Amino acid sequence: MHYYKRRSLLLLITNLFIVISGYTQELYPSSEPASNMSSKSIGVRLGTQLSQGVNNTNLLRINPELMWGINKKWMLHIDEFMGNVYQNQFDIEQFSIYTKYRFLSIDDVHSHFRMAMFGRVTTGYNSMMSDTMTLNYMSGYTSGIVITQLVHKVAVSGTLSYYENWNSTGASVNYIASAGYLLFPRHYSKYKQLNINLYFELLGKKMMTNKNNFVDIAPAVQFIINSVARIDFVYQTKISKSSARNYNSLALLKLEYNFLNAY
Amino acid sequence: MKKIIVGLLFCLPIISNAQFKKAELKAAGLTCSMCSRAVDKQLQSLNFVDSVRVNLEEAIFTIYFNPNQIVAINDIKKKVEDAGFSVSSLKVFYQFTNQKVDENYHLNYHEMLFHFINDKPQILDGIIAFQIIGKGFLADKAWRKLESKIKKHIHPNAENSTEIKTVFHALL
């Protein structure tokens, strides 16, 4: 019964998003769309994640990220994680390389459909399989596929990926559903206009080892400044019953700046 | 030799007049001002582009060309695709001088040849806009509808010419 109630609620939320979205954005704060960044562009990102550990300790995670649009189909991210989420003292946790290849792009005047595949390799001090909902950010490798569909300015995105840690002791299937809504401006007139976007993302993970299923929701508000800078505020919290989590919810601040045609 | 020089001198005003003035490009797949800015920056990186004006609401870019620079039509398309999007329409504005355009006429411009697919012959004088018709210059669906019709219009001599590197179809 609970399962059906939860499912109906999710369907309702998804439908609401589709109905109310006049304009939609696909610059998702908690996932990547199938679209790529502009060729020869460089982006820098800084993520600051705050959460409360299960034993009431404050957990902090800092994540600087460098992004590079190699060409119209390929992009590459290199990032580093520092924090005290997986150890008692604040220290470097891991490094990661992410690459995405857009292999299908069908554009029409009022719609587009894009598909991309991606891979992430993460290495560092933490190779334990954590059930915490930090999708794709654990030590190991992830490969997956992302599909983004835009019809009459309603954009939805779905991500499916498989993660395995280095010593093959843990694996999971990750899935993300994302939707975004442009709150302001109602009409675009210039690049300097402040854009305010609302996002709703559903992040899920099915553990292959113990078959546990974890589902989080991640609503977010995003500000776009001068059409090159981004500020994202994300609140991520669990909606599925689970044990063995490092934390139940987190607040995330992401700052991003893009250098278009940087070289 | 003299004849050639005199001939060239006569041609000069025609050459400097014979050029693209501007273009109106509508992009497909744009969803945000960040995306438009990326397209804008890509277009501005072309050496024959003087400036770009944008209508963000409609995703229409008006591209002003540098005078006396060769306008490479394919490069415009490439830059929009480099930004991650595509062209849904490209209208170019060209300076004509009392030119009769019928089924035998081709506009020959720096290794590019424009074949007009209009049914009725017309006399063109002044700055006239025409739309580029072809794969990558129209939205995918629109191109698929037109593709079979367009193939009938391909001019065999034009395609085989060694001086012509690209053949475009144009619609007034």
Q: Does this model's pTM top 0.90?
A: no
Q: What ipTM score was computed for the predicted complex, to two decimals?
A: 0.83
Nearest CA in chain A to B46: A261
pLDDT at A138: 62
Distances (CA, A) of B19 to B26, B64, B114, B126: 21, 12, 13, 11
Beta-carbon contacts of A58 under 8 Å, excluding residues fewer than 6 positions away, are: A50, A51, A52
Do the chains contact at A109 and B139, CB–CB below 8 Å? yes
pLDDT at B9: 46
**Which has more pLDDT, B139 or B3?**
B139
Do the chains contact at B31 and A24, CB–CB below 8 Å? yes
pLDDT at B29: 79
**In the predicted structure, residue A252 carries a pLDDT above the cut 60:** yes
pLDDT tens, residue by residue, A124-158: 765 444 555 454 456 789 999 999 987 655 678 99
**Whole-angstrom Cα distance, residue B32 to residue B13?**
44
Residue in B33, B44, B57 closest to A227 by CB? B33
pLDDT at A187: 86
pLDDT at A83: 87
**Whole-angstrom Cα distance, residue B90 to residue B56?**
16
What is the percent of chain A with per-residue pLDDT over 90, rounded to a whole number? 51
Q: Which two tokens stand for residue A4?
A: 């059906």
Q: Across residues A189-201, what is the average pLDDT?
A: 93
Is the distance from CB of A100 to CB of A120 less than 8 angstroms?
A: no
B86–A contact, CB cutoff 8 A: yes
pLDDT tens, residue by residue, A7-46: 555 554 444 444 444 456 789 999 999 999 999 999 999 9
Q: A-chain residues within 8 Å CB-CB of B139?
A: 107-109
Of A83-87, A239-243, B76-80, highest mean pLDDT = B76-80
Residue in B31, B85, B86 closest to A153 by CB? B31
CA of B45 vs chain A CAs: smallest distance (Å)? 8
Phi-psi label, residue A59: left if phi above 0, alpha if psi -120 to 50, beta otherwise:
beta
Do the chains contact at A227 and B37, CB–CB below 8 Å? yes
pLDDT tens, residue by residue, A84-103: 877 778 888 888 999 999 99
Residue in A107, A150, A189 closest to B140 by CB? A107
pLDDT at B10: 45
| Interface probe, candidates B33, B40, B52, B144, chain A, greatest A C-beta count within 10 A | B33
B75–A contact, CB cutoff 8 A: no
Nearest CA-CA partner of A195 in A235, A218, A226: A226
| Interface probe, candidates B26, B36, B39, B41, chain A, greatest A C-beta count within 10 A | B41
Nearest CA-CA partner of A218 in A57, A66, A47: A47
Q: Is A82 exposed, middle or buried (0-12, 13-18, 19+ CB in 10 A)?
A: middle
